[in-house]
Each structure stands twice: as structure tokens, then as C-alpha cells.
Structure 1
Amino acid sequence: MTFVTALKDLDRHSLAVAGGKGANLGEAIRAGFPVPDGFVVTTDAYALVAADPRVSAVLAETLSEIQAGMPGELTGEQPAGADPGARVRAAFEVAEVPEKIRRAILDAYAALGAGPVAVRSSATAEDLPGAAFAGQQDTYLNVVGERALIDAVRRCWASLWTARAIAYRARRGIGAGIETGIGADGEVGGVRIAVVVQAMAEAELAGVMFTANPVTGARDQIIVEASGGLGEAVVSGLVTPDHYVLDGHGRIVEHTPGRREVVIRPAPGGGVLKETPAAGAVGAAESLPERALARLAALGRAVEAHFGRPQDIEWAYAAGAVTLLQARPLTALPPPPLRLGRLRRKLGSILLEYVPVRPYPIDMSTWVPYGPAGLMAEVTRHFGLRGAFEGFLPEVDGVVERLVPPAPRPSLAMLATPYKLVRLARRHDPARWTADPRFAAFMASMARLQERDVAAMDWPELVRLPRQALRSLAPIAAFRIDYLPRTGLSLLRLALVLRLLGRGGLLAELITGARTRTADANRALEALAAMVRQDRRLGAALEEGALTFEHNDAFRTAFAAFLTEYGHRETTSPILVTPPTWGEAPEVVLGAIKVLAGRPPEPAGTADQPDQPDQVDQADQAERALRSLLEHRLLRGRPRRAQRVRRWVEQARAGLAFREDSHFYFTKPLPVLRRALLEMGARLRDAGVLAASEEVFHLRLEELETIGDPARASAADRARLRELVRRRAQRRAELEGVPLIDPRAVFPVQDAGDALVAGTPAGGGRAGGPVRVIREPAEFGTLAGGEVLVCPYTNPSWTPLFQRAAAVVVDTGGPASHAAIVAREYGIPAVMGTAVGTSVLRTGQMVTVDGSTGRVTASEITS
């Protein structure tokens, strides 16, 4: 066993003995970068101390207690005050360090000059591309003397057991914290810890540098943050540092001076001092000179090129020289910014509504290519347009990295498109699509699918079921190809006629009169809400989050019938299989019922306040609009003309109803597909391959299809699958806070002037009220009547909220998006494509929404 190794003898392959930090520093020294000299107390030293019976007994006892009775700690979600590793840390901090380890450390310290050193933890899972572990283990600066050094090493070993480190490992799926087991050598779920000891670097100024912009993802920018004294003040967030944005050559693009609230300096005799500078004491002389910034930029680019990806670097500057203290991969980096033309922005606005969350590998191999996006790709290909809905979710190592709006390209087949459109429009009437024999065949196949009992299937039969469910969708693509042409032509004809008559503003109201399955669902929800309003116990049960209603048989029966009829609808996205359906997440439906059951408040008094949404009868509204149109001087008293215009309106309505209802039926296979996938996940879990059935989402369908019965799988195959799932889960965890695309690339932020936010106007007049930010369906029940709904996206699941909201403000979408159409149907103002609405506006804030100008302004009304 080797207990101490010089940094210069290590490289990027030394992870197992030196941890991530030690391996990276060794690699940097070998590459010739200016790194302070030092050595590593290896993982072998940690393992030997952990094997001491007095330490290992505490390790085993702690693990046993956690596994037996503290499930929250297994996931890193400790209750307030809980600290599962406290006794383990205490054991390490007083552990007897064997003489051979002690001697090796002190000999290396003497060779380093026995002066002040920095002592840093270096776990085998940190400073890696998927997990930075920033701040999770401990660092001790300006350590002076042999006794202080040994004590600092022990404390670094102990820091593997801090509550924050345990939680971080659990969240990143790295050894899953303590719970996966502790080896006799103290290894925790595959994680050990080493300790880096380096000579203290002098620092007039210090800080961090990112070789790409961590906020925008721009790879041609370098971000430098600096402050006086040691860089710990910047790293730990104790100061507001000087902030520099540099171009690739180190030239200053932007500079924001810091405030230097604290300066950390080495203390005489060891440790550090925190000084508070006197007001005005920080001058230009204590800022980084331009030549230093240029040197930093050159160093950053060189380190990035050597390691092959953007880097997060800690540095120090003194006497004109720059020193590299640490380099690790820059994690959670957004994709590079996109510059999109008008057509790609339009497609991006559609796709952002389709994909509000990052797809899993199982999505990418099932519902994405076969669901609505795959269907529209088939439709557009049929009419000669290629690439419109394909390749927009590029994957790296099985994980979707970003959303890239595609660039459609016409083919020669487009020359025949006008002929195809006219021929199909003549033959296929959207008003009669459910009478098509193919529709009856599709519904029969759905009934057969829904009767399948996945639990009773053997593995070969079960693994075939997803393909059968996906193949059942083929008729829907044919329906869209056949019936959409008359839909589009009917809408275009009506829009042109209205424009010629000078009544273009009536289009939205005229086409709201069609009956759709979404409208049917909304009426059914309103009926359930009416039952709640009549039964106080039901209302109380909803407030308490109840999912069963034993005291009211009528409601329970009606609710079950609702889920039977509409439970296949998606909660989050129409093109993903991984989010639950309404039937699987009844709490989402109950949240909508709770919103509808609530009594609307008195009007807030804002000018042009529309009627409360529940008072608007959409059919009556459409009929009033039609009567108004028929009173036009060119139609009044001319029954044949009026009858023709009425027929055109009805055809446009039928087209919109077809578009909506075909999607409703399109999602019929979703519950079957999900049941099959989760059953496969459950069997893989029972075979010890997965920790939970939902982890099956990290696998692709073709990977599942090649697996034999997991109950009889070899140990090697099980290990291979576990590692595949672990890697993908870890990468997803790293990208958790990274958007698939910056909404501002699709919806450029508009000059809001004195408005809080601005976007695309989508109609509905003006209304005001308090903001309610709702980010996901689980929060539906929080919306109160008369509040302004602010959300990142919408789909049909959100529709019931529009019956109580005073207005809607959405980060994504345009005037033709689902949210805009439904908002106009309910007569409420809508502002779409704000890009930043959910981040700028806050719940409770009083605002006025103008759906005609696309502006959201602060309201004069006070709460």
C-alpha cells in the first residue's frame, strides 16, 4: 500500500488513489501549468484508518441504524437537525493515525519545506465531468506545523461523512450515500477519499474562472470573478466579487465591480483571518490589471484544451504571476446559444410546449418517434417537407442534451403538394372522420390493448407489448394526412372572407363553437366541481388532499367514470411516455376540480375587467359572433350568401374539432405503454438490476428487447445494465437545472419599457389580479379564482384553470398555441412567449395583463 504520492507523479488516471482533485492537479503539473507543489495522502491511507476496529464499528452501527429506521436519510433528505454521519466524523477526527502513515505524511511535508500548506479533500467521485462536489468535502488553508497537518488530514477524511456530502452523493446516484454499504476498508458505495496537501500560494487577489459562460452556455466567453486576499471568500460566497466577462482573447466585454465585504488572509501561526475593509478602502489598485486578465484567459483556454472540455478553475494572483490552484470540469453547463431564423423560432415555439421537461431514453425510443412529433414528421414528409419534426432532441451517451429547432427542407415531392391537398380536401370531411371505418378498427384495437394484463404475461410477451401499442397508432397518421387538408383550407378560406368583409377580429370567437373531447372533459370536471360545492365534506376532503371519498358514493362513482373516460390524457407532455397520465395521477384532476369548485372573488376593479370565465358560455359567444357577422351589409337580406358563410364557419369549426379530437384519441395507448414499461421495470427491480421500477426509463426500448428474462440474467448482464442506468442517471442529475433551450432564443425578450414583462399579444382585453406562478400540474390546486396564471407552458391538462384565472401569462407559445386558443375561448387576456415570466413575476404580486399589447404591468391595486 502506498500512503503518500507526490503530485508530480500523478495524472488523470490516478483517480482511484488520489481522488478527482488530486488526479486533476497531477495532470496539470505534468502538462506544465503553474500549480503549487505538493503531495497526496492516498485512499490507501484512508482505508487503513477506516479498518481500525474503533472506526469500523461506528461505521457499521451507523449504517445499520440508517437502513433500519431513517429512510429519509437514505435519500439525503434528512429531517431538520438530523446528521447521519456525525458519529462517524467524530470517530475519524480522534482516530489514531498509524505510525507508518504519520511518518509518510510528515516526511513529505518536510520535503515540501514544512511551511504553510493548503489541505484539501479529494474523493474518488469528485471533480469529475458529472459531479463537481463543489464544497461538499472540507478544505483547510494556511495549515502550519506537523500536529495541525495530521489533524487537518483526519478532518478531511471525516468530511466524506458530512450530511451535505451524503445528500449530494445520494442525489447524484454516486454510491447513493451510506446506504449501499461500507466495505471493511471504509469505502462508501464505491467512494473513497484522499487528501491533497499543497504549499500555500501567495495571493494579492484570487477567485474563480469559468472557461465558458455558465449562465448562457457561450463557449466564446470566459467568466472571471475576483476579490482581494485568498479565493475562499469568493468560493464560499462571502463577498460580492469583481465580475468580468472576457472574450476568447481575454479582452474585457463586461465588468461589474465587487463590494469586497470580507477579505480572507493567512493568519500568523496558521489558519485564516476575516477582515472587513474600511469604507472606500478598496481602490483600483486592488483590481486585476488587464494583463493579468489576459494571462488568466490564456491559462483557461490552455487548461480547457488539455482536458478536452470547459473548466471551472480556482486561481491566485501575486507579483504579476497567476497560479492554478484547482481545475475541474465545468458541470451543469447550458448548451451553446442558438441563433434561429423566423421559421426555426416558430417550430421552436411548438416544440417547447411539447417538451417542457427533459426526455428519458425510453421516451426517445418510444413516444417521441411514434407520438405526436413522429406523426407530424410523417405528415410533413407526405407533403414534401423533410426534417420539420425530426432530430430536434440530440442525445449524448443516451441522454438528451438540448432542444434544437430543426431546419425543414423541401423535397421534389412538394411540387405535387397542391394537387394532394385539393384531392384530399375533396374526399375527406373532418366533420365525418369518426365515421371512417378505420376509426372503428382503431377503437377496437385500443379496447383489446387495454384488456391486456401485463402482470400475467411472461417476459417475451411483455417485452413485445410496447411495440404493439406503438404500431396501433399508425391509423392516426393516416387520419391526419387525409383530414387536415380540408381543415387547413377551411380555416384559410374563412380567414380570407372575414378579412374581405372587414371582420377579421371575429375569427377567434367564430371557431370556438365546435364541440370537442377537451370541452367534454371540461364540462365533466365542472359537473364534479358542482358536486363539491354542494357538499362541504367533499370540499374539506379536497383541501386535505384526499384521494378517496367514501362518504359520497355519487361523487366517487362520477370521479371513477371520469378517469375511465379521460384518464389516458397526459399530465405534462403529449410526446413523452414517462410523465403519468390523469388516471395514474388523480391528484392532478382533483386539483383542477378544487380550482373549479372555488367561488370566484369579487372583481378586483381593474379597468376593462372581463366577465368571470365561468360565466362565459362559449357556444353562445360563438353564436353571437356568427349573428354579428351575418348582419354585415353584404350578407344581410341575402340568404344564399349567408347560408354559404354559415357553412364555411361550420367547416372551420369541424376542422379544429378534428385536430383536437384526433389528439385525444391519439393518447389512448399511453396507459398501456406505461403499464408495460413499469412492469418490466418492476421485474428488473426484483431481479436486483434496478433500485426502483421507474429507473427503467433510463433504458431504451431496444435495450429492453434484447434482455432475456431478468430473473435468469447473468451477474455480468445485471452489472452491465446497472452501470448503464447509473451513468445516465448521473448525467441527467448534472443537467437537472439546465434548460433544454434558452427560451429567449425562441422568444427574444422584448423591450418591456415600463412593463414588468412583455411577450406576444394573444387577445382577450385587459384584466388584473394577483399573480399565481404554477410550474407543474401538481400545483393546480393552488390557483384561486381571479388570480393571474403565470406558467412555463400549457397543454390540455391546464384548460380547467382558465375557467378561474383572470388572465394567463406563459413563457412559451404564440397566438396559435394551445394556451392562447383556450384563453380566447374563455375570454381572458393572454400574453405568450414572454421567455422570463415565471422568473420575473412572483406569486402574490399585483399586475395588469393586456392581451392586446402583450404587456404585463404593475397594478395600482394593493393587496
Structure 2
Amino acid sequence: MSLLHRGLYVVQINDQRQPKSVGNKAFNIHQLMQRGLRVPKTYAVSWEAYDRYLQDDDSILKLLSQQLMEVLEPAGVYAVRSSASVEDTLEGSFAGQFKTILDVQGEQAILMAILSVWSSVNSPGVQAYLDKLPLQQRELHMAVILQEMVNPLVSGVAFSRNPITGEDEVIVEAVQGAGAALVQDGITPLRWVNRSGLWKSSPQHSPIGTGLIEMVCRQTRQIAESFKAPVDLEWVYDGHELFWVQMREIPSLKNLETYSNRIAKEVLPGMIKPLIWSINIPLINSVWVELLTELVGKNDLKFDDLAKSFYYRTYFNVSALGRVWDVFGMPRESLEIMMGILPRSERQQKFKPTWRMMRLLPRLLLFAWKKWHLGKRFEVDYPRLKLLPEHYNWQNTRNQNESELWVEINRLYRDLYPLVYYNINIPLLMGFYNTAFAYFLKKAEVDPAQFDLMAGMTAHLEYAPDIPLRDLQHDFHNLDPATQQYIRQSSYVEFQQLPGIPQFQEKVSSFMIRFGYLSDSGNDFSSVPWREKPDMVLKLITQGPVQEAHKAKVRYEDLNLPRLTSHWANLLYRKARKFRLYREQISSLYTQAYGSFRPYLLALGHHFTARGLLSEPEDIFYLDRLEIDEIVSYIVDERNSAPAKQLDQDYGLLAKIRKAELISCKDVHLPTLIYGNVPPLVDTNEEDKLTGVPTSRGYYTGPTRVVHGLEDFNKVKPGDVLVIPFSDVSWSVLFAQTKAIIAESGGMLSHSSILAREYQIPAVVSVPGAMELKDDMLVTVDGYRGEVILHTKAEIQQNEGSN
């Protein structure tokens, strides 16, 4: 028999089953009790009593008075609060809308407080709140909570996640005495932020003991984990016990998406033009969706949900990715950790397997088996994939009309998919095998940075330009001085016509054919490749210093490994070596094939320019795929004398506007994390110190040399601090003569970081504002803490005086 049928309207809240009519707030208290948490004795007046009151049934007040006298302590002091059907939901919290009366004593006073709570339903604020809800959610039933007051030594609130940003950190605010002081007396509370068991921030001087706050944080995490949702809690401490008095799910985090640029700095660094975005994002994110589907099965992920552009810079949706990792009890930053781009200090909770993960175990084992054998699959596919760049040779664009070019561009887009798949999977697996093998190196007391992983292998060297370039520089310096001087003053065409050095000319030509596809960014097909800048490459050969060979390092046969672990160490060693080779192969192949977009699109841009649709061919990079498709369709209809639909807008003007926007956003400083879909306010403040991610240890003080691209390579001098926007294989030729690296993008596995560790020079990457540094600024690079200290003029003069 229900409580209502038994005539009971005052219900004690406990760990037993409760009627729905006690309201949401009372039900949340019931759930706290179910989990064994200490809660003050609590009663609820069900909303059936309120419904009878609305029907002018005066007998309900007499009945309530009798039931209150039966259950309440005569000397008891109570807090009287609302517990409405619409309260504390994700659609609306109604925080502060209904009456709360504290320190109420005596049956009649409590009855008057209940009437006061009921009457607050008719306030204008509540009605305005209800009007914002969908019609089906506007029906309001009002229950009332009666909770014993605790004599508080300390009171406060706790959030299991940051309610503004959604970050995985516990925030605690507290005051001495009653919590009402926070509202009524305007007291600013003391504030603690705890992340992964460490204090992110805390008061310098606090009369409230840290032990109490640690207990609040610990129980807050336990409550959130038990409810599988971020929660907002109210608590009081009487000097002996910690009591929880209210709980609700944090409504502000519903549908909050968090975006991070850490992954983007690895795969899509810098500013991204609209056409590059409209091709890269569907390609890359479709592979990520496939990869995650392999891992967890069917899901609702879509490629366009995984990334967003802010000020023409790429940010990945870590909330969407985090929901996948939640299934396995893994940190939401798992992908960033695997890629080596998340600072250790920012890593969150450790791996905690979930029951759902146990159910997915067969799929996980199949996934692991497939990835373990991915190398064999790549070796089978690689010979076929190698043919792609030749099929899309830039010379094939001659004499093709707009529709023929567009057909080839779309075919290239489809053909690139398997390359993108390998170009994402192979580096991830390489990072996994490197990390696993590093465990055995540490056991052998060997620094991974001092270990020669590729000792005895040369196959991987053919995919990077630094060694062939070093050979060309040696050959150049072996020429007679007069010839050297003449070549330095010559253009590439003049150099090729110079008599008497056919072998050297042939080597340079071969180098251009072999590495001419390289550009300042292998992820931006609008970047001008080396083959279009032969004069710059010639200067690199003739004016660059001869590079030094790498220093000797520890080899595998030098390791002293226990017999019990040597088998696994050798297995991982061989896997790590193979996947380093695979990464060089797929990276080179992908860059070549992906770079084929440029000549085809420029050829199409020439057609558009000839028709007066664009001001210049390069403006095509400021349109997107759908816009280009509309233009091509318009041209085809016009050519076929079909009734051509007019273009939606002036695409030439649109390209100019977007080009101007990119220029205006060039110096924008953006945070690593962006919360929500609204672009953040731009921060242009300059600091005396830049910070980033340390990826190669050491210290060095010296002058900066800012390199934007190939045109700046020749200004780098021995002893410089190299400042670069991002890392790419073509930049490796600079590392022999520099003493430190500052990169605006990158992570632990970027080219700049790997080479810095090989050359044993400090590197700090993912440094916001790095490219705003000027040449010859004196800086100190701290490869331990990830800091770049900018010295003052006085410090520069002092440094010059000491020299």
C-alpha cells in the first residue's frame, strides 16, 4: 500500500525505496544515504499534500500538523527547503527560485515555513523560469524537505568537475560557520582546486584545516564516480563529522564541448585555409571515427563533430573523444598521452577498468591483434600505394578542363584514405612500441635519448633530406673556390647551364626530383614545394655549412638485460625499429600524394581566374570543396548550353574577405583549451617568459633565429636558437648548427623533438607566440621546465660585455 493510501504525507528519507512524490532534491538525498554517506536526519512533505492545499482542502494543514508532531523532535531545529518536481534537473536547476528557511523550531513554525515554500511557487521568477521549459516539463509539483540543522564549524560546497570549463578537477569553497553566510553576508569563501590528488590552487593562509578539505575532495570524487555524473554538493562539518546536505548533477556541463589544440599542433599546425580544412578534416577525422569504431563498436561519432576551427586554427573535440575513453575507465586525455603531447604535470586519473570494458574485452583483443599485425598489412599494401604520386603527377594537369580536373581531385581525395589510415595508425603504434621498449631501457639504466634505435639500419634514411643534403654540401665545398663563388651568385637555371661540373649538377637535379615534393608544411597542400623554389634549395646547398654526423650512442648489443626479460625487450626493439621505418615510409608517401592536390587545384584556379571568377589562381585555397563544386557545376552547365543556375555569391570577393581575415588573425593568441563553441576573446598581452612543453632536456642561452620557411634557412648561424612554427621532415637540415629549439607547435614525437634529443640540445615545443619573437633576441631555453626566458636589453648588453 502506498504512503498516500495510508494517509501519510510526511515521509522520512532513508536508504529504503522512496515515493516519487518526495521530489528531486529529497530523492538525491536518499541516493546519498543509499551509498552510506552521512546525511542529517531528513523528512519530506510529499507533493500530494501541496496538491490538496491547492484544492482548498483546509484539512490537509491539520493532518500535516499531526504528522509533524509525531515524527519531529520538539527541540529539533530544521532547515525547510523546496523539493519540486522540476528542481535540480539537467533542463533547469531552479537554484534560488524557491524559498529556503533555516533554523526553524516547533511544529507551528515549521508548518508556516512549509506554507512559505508553497507560496514561492507563484513568484514571478519561478513563472519566468517555467516559461523557458518545454511545455511537457512545465507541470510543477512541490514537495518540501525538513532536514535537521547541524551546528556547523565549517560549511561549503564542492564540485566534482569545474562547472565553467568541465575540467576534471574538484573545486571546494568553504567558510567558517553556516553556509548561509556565503549568500546573506556576502563573504568571499576560501577556495581550493584539486587535480589528480594535487593542489592546483589553495589559500595561502587558511583557518580551515587541509585534512578536512582533502576528505571533502576524496568523498566528492567517490560520489561522482558512484553516480557516473559530475555533481555539485553542499556539506557541513560540526568539528567531528562531515555531513552532506544536498546533491545535484551539474547542469552547466550538459552538452559542454571542450576543444584542445594539442593534437592539432601535431597533425594540422598553424593557420588552416578553408580549402585545406574542407579536405583535411573529413579525411583525417573519418579515419579517427573508423579507428574508434574498431575499438568500441557502433557509436554516434561523426567526423565533423571531432574538430572545430577557431580563428582559422584547428581544435579537436576532446569531450567527444573523452566519452569514448570513459567506456574503458581511461583518462579523457588518453590520446594526447599516447601521442606524447600532454605534459606529465597535466595528466589526470589513472586507468580504472569499467564493467563495460569487460564486456568489450573480445573486441579489444581483436583490435589489439589487428594492430599487432598492422605492419604486415602495410608491407603488402605499400608497393601498390607507392604508385599513387606517379598517377597524380603535376604534369598531368596540362590541357585538362575544369570538370576533368575536378574529377581527378575527387578521385585523389578517395585514393588518399588508406594513406591517411596508415599515417595515423603507424605513428600511434610507433609511439606505443617506443614507450614500451623505453621501460626496458630504464631497467637497464639507459637514457632512451642516448639509445640508437636504428643502429645498423639505413633504409629509413632515404626518406629524409638531411643526409643527401650533407653529401651535396660536401661535394660543393670540394669544388674550386671560383666555381663555388660563381654558383653562389647564380640562379638555379644559370647553375644548370654552367660547364665543367656535370656530376654535381646531376646530383643536385636528382636531389630536386627526389625531395622536390617537400614544403614548409606537409599538412598544407597550399604550401609552395621545393621544386617550385629551386633557387632557395640551391642556396641551401651552397651557403649552408657542412653538417656534422650524429654522435655515437648506446646500441642494443650494449644492453645488459636479464634473461627473463630479454625476449620481450628484443621483440619490442624489433617492433619499434620496424615502425620507425614504416613511419618514414608512410610520411614520405603521404606527403607526396597529398601534395598532388596543389598542382591540380592551381590548374583549376587558373581556369577560374581566366573566367574572371577569382583575382588570382591561389585564391582557390580560400574557398571550400562545396563552393568549388558549385562553380564547376556552373561552368559545366554553361559549356553544355544548359540553363545554368546563377552562382550563390561572388566567390572572388569571398576569397578576398577570407584572405584578409587570415591576415588579421595571424597574431591572435589562443589558449590550449577552449570551452564551448564560442570563440574566446583574443589575448595579445606579451610576457617576459613563454611557456610550452619540454621535449628535450638541457639549458642554453643564445640569440634567436626565426625561420618561417625555406627562404629563411640560410640565415641560421652556428650557435643560434632555432625558432620555428612547426616541425616537418624538411626542417631537419637545420638542426646540426643550432643549439636549442623553440617550436610553436609539436609534441614528444614531432620531428623537432626527436631530432633535438638525437642532437642532445634543449627543445621546448607548443609555445604560444613563439613566432612573434624577432631575430637576435637573447633567450634562455629551459628544456626541463618548458620555459623560454626573454632577456632585457640590460641583460643583452651584460651578455655582450661578458663575451
TM bin, normalised by shorter chain, reads 0.5 to 0.7
What residue in structure 1 maps to residue 776 of structure 2? 844
In structure 1, which of residues 456, 462, 470 is the aligned counterpart of residue 399 of structure 2?
456
Structure 2 portions without partners, runs of 5+: 1-252, 329-356, 675-679, 681-686
Deviation at 1:656, TM superposition (A): 2.7
Deviations 1:793-835, CA, capped at 9 Å, x for gaps: 2222211111221111123333333321121122222122332
Q: Which residue of 1 aligns with 2:474?
A: 530
Q: 1:358 to 1:683 in 2, by over 3 A?
A: same
For 2:620, give the aligned amino acid: V
Distance 2:271 2:396 in 1: 30
Q: Quote the residue 1:506 is aligned against.
A: 448
Q: Does 1:765 align with 2:698?
A: yes
2:382 aligned to which of 439, 447, 451: 439
Say if 1:392 and 1:403, in contact at 8 Å, map to a contact too: no
Q: Does 1:363 align with 2:276?
A: yes
Q: How does 1:739-818 map to 2 (within 5 A)?
A: 739=666, 742-745=669-672, 756-818=689-751
Contact 2:613 2:652 in 1 (8 A): no
Identical amino acids, percent of aligned pairs: 20
Q: Give the secondary-structure state (helix, strand or coil) at the position aligned to 1:527.
A: helix
Deviation, structure 1 residue 510? 4.1
Paired with 1:765 and 1:680, the residues of 2 have a C-alpha distance of 49
Corresponding residue SS for 2:468: helix
Q: Spell out, residue by residue over 1:651-687, the C-alpha distance to the aligned partner (whole angstroms, 9 max, x if none).
A: 2122233233212111222343222211111122222
Query: Would the aligned equivalents of 1:764 and 1:851 in 2 still touch at CA under 8 Å?
Result: yes
Q: 3-state DSSP class of the match of 1:653?
A: helix
Tell me whether 1:626 sits opposite 2:569 in the alignment.
no
User: What is aligned with 1:730?
Assistant: 657
Q: Distance in 2 between matches of 1:344 and 1:591?
A: 45
Aligned mates of 2:461, 2:631 — CA distance in 1:
35
Counterpart of 1:476 in structure 2 is: 419
Corresponding residue for residue 700 of structure 1: 624
Alpha-carbon offset, residue 465 of structure 1: 0.5
Question: What displacement does 1:544 show?
Answer: 4.5
- Give the alignment of 1:319-338 within 5 angstroms: none
In 2: Cα distance, 1:787 partner to 1:626 partner: 33
Residue type of the alignment partner of 1:809: I
Residues 804 and 542 from structure 1, CA distance in 2 versus in 1: closer, same or farther, beyond 3 angstroms? farther
Query: For 1:388 and 1:524, how far apart are their aligned partners in 2?
Result: 43
Classify the secondary structure of the residue corresponding to 1:852. coil
CA RMSD of aligned residues (A): 4.2
Please list, as runs of the form range in 1=range in 2, the aligned pairs for 1:380-459 lying within 5 A after superposition: 380-384=292-296, 390-391=304-305, 394=308, 401-407=312-318, 408-411=321-324, 415=360, 418-428=364-374, 430=375, 435-436=379-380, 438-450=381-393, 453-459=396-402
Cα 1:643–1:589 shift into 2, 3 Å: farther
Q: CA deviation at 1:714?
A: 8.8
CA drift of 1:358 comes to: 3.2
Q: Mapping of 1:169-318 within 5 angstroms?
A: none
1:560 aligns to what? 509
The residue number in structure 2 matching 1:250 is none
CA distance in 2, matches of 1:425, 1:410: 22
In 2 relative to 1, CA 854–542 (structure 1 residues): closer, same or farther, beyond 3 Å? farther
Specify the SS of the correspondent of 1:383: helix
Q: Say if 2:618 is the partner of 1:670.
A: no
Q: 1:665 to 1:769 in 2, by over 3 A?
A: same
User: Are 1:775 and 1:791, in contact at CA under 8 Å, matched by a contact in 2?
Assistant: yes
The residue type paired with residue 844 of structure 1 is D
> Do residues 582 (structure 1) and 582 (structure 2) align?
no
Native 8 Å contact 1:404 1:741 kept in 2: no
Q: 1:688 — aligned with what?
A: 612
Question: TM-score normalized by structure 1?
Answer: 0.50
Change (3 A) 1:386 1:813: farther
Inter-partner Cα distance in structure 1 for 2:672 and 2:771: 16
Counterpart CA distance in 2 for 1:718 and 1:497 is 66
1:494 and 1:648 in contact (8 A); partners too: yes
- CA contact under 8 A between 2:697 and 2:763: conserved in structure 1? yes
2:700/2:782 contact within 8 Å kept:
yes
Q: What is the DSSP-based 3-state SS (H/G/I as helix, E as strand, rest coil) of the residue aligned with 2:473? A: helix
- How far apart are 1:391 and its partner, in Å? 4.8
Q: What residue number does 2:756 align with? A: 823
Q: Structure 1 residue 511: deviation in Å?
A: 3.4
Verify: 1:465 aligned to 2:408, yes or no. yes
Within 5 Å, which residues of 2 pair with 1:120-159? none
- Map 1:589-608 onto structure 2 (within 5 A): 589-590=537-538, 592-594=540-542, 597-598=544-545
The 1-side partners of 2:265 and 2:656 are apart by 23
Are the equivalent residues in 1 in contact too, given 2:264–2:315 (CA < 8 A)?
no
Which whole-Å deviations, capped at 9, do the CAs of 1:46-104 have from their partners, x for residues lacking one? xxxxxxxxxxxxxxxxxxxxxxxxxxxxxxxxxxxxxxxxxxxxxxxxxxxxxxxxxxx
**Partners of 2:388 and 2:664 in 1: how far apart?**
41
- With over 3 angstroms needed to count, the CA separation of the structure-2 counterparts of 1:501 and 1:542, relative to structure 1, is same
Distance 1:511 1:354 in 2: 24
Secondary structure, counterpart of 1:674 in structure 2: helix
Q: By how many angstroms is 1:782 displaced?
A: 1.4
Is the CA contact 1:759–1:833 (under 8 Å) kept in the aligned structure 2?
yes
Distance 1:419 1:755 in 2: 50
Q: Which residue of 2 aligns with 1:521?
A: 465
Change (3 A) 1:484 1:681: closer
Counterparts of 1:842 and 1:502 in 2: how far apart (Å)? Answer: 41
What is the CA deviation profile of residues 221-260 of structure 1, one whole-angstrom value per residue up to 9, with x for unaligned ones? xxxxxxxxxxxxxxxxxxxxxxxxxxxxxxxxxxxxxxxx
> Aligned AA for 2:368?
V
**Aligned equivalents of 1:544, 1:458: Cα separation in 2:** 40
Judge conservation of contact 2:691–2:788 (CA < 8 Å) in 1. Answer: yes
- Asked whether the equivalents of residues 691 and 786 of structure 2 are also in contact (C-alpha less than 8 Å), the reply is yes
Q: Matched residues in 2 for 1:482 and 1:738: separation?
A: 33
Return the alpha-carbon distance in structure 1 between the equivalents of residues 451 and 521 of structure 2.
27
Secondary structure, counterpart of 1:617 in structure 2: coil
Name the counterpart of 2:147.
none
Q: Does residue 1:854 correspond to 2:786, yes or no?
A: yes
1:95-151: CA deviation from partner (whole Å, max 9, x where unpaired): xxxxxxxxxxxxxxxxxxxxxxxxxxxxxxxxxxxxxxxxxxxxxxxxxxxxxxxxx
Residue 509 and residue 756 in structure 1: after superposition, are their counterparts in 2 closer, same or farther (change >3 A)? farther
Where structure 1 has 5 or more consecutive residues not aligned to the other structure, the ranges are 1-338, 600-613, 749-753
Letter paired with 2:786? G
> Are the structure 2 counterparts of residues 454 and 735 from structure 1 closer, same or farther at C-alpha, using a change threshold of 3 Å?
closer
Partner of 2:220: none
C-alpha displacement at 1:471, in angstroms? 1.7
Distance 1:441 1:811, change over 3 A: closer
Flag the 1:772–1:766 CA change in 2: closer, same or farther, 3 A.
same
SS in 2 for 1:405: strand
SS in 2 for 1:453: helix
C-alpha contact (below 8 Å) 2:272/2:313 kept by paired residues: no
Q: Secondary structure at the match of 1:669?
A: helix
After superposition, the Cα gap between the structure-2 partners of 1:728 and 1:681, relative to the gap in structure 1 and judged at 3 Å, is closer
For 1:791 and 1:349, locate their aligned partners in 2 and report how far apart those are by CA, in whole Å: 17
Report the secondary structure of 1:708's partner residue. Answer: helix
1:546 is aligned, of 470, 478, 491, to: 491
Residues 759 and 832 of structure 1 are in contact (CA less than 8 Å); yes or no, is this contact kept in structure 2? yes
1:690–1:564 Cα change, 3 Å: same
- CA distance 1:545–1:710, change in 2 (3 Å): farther
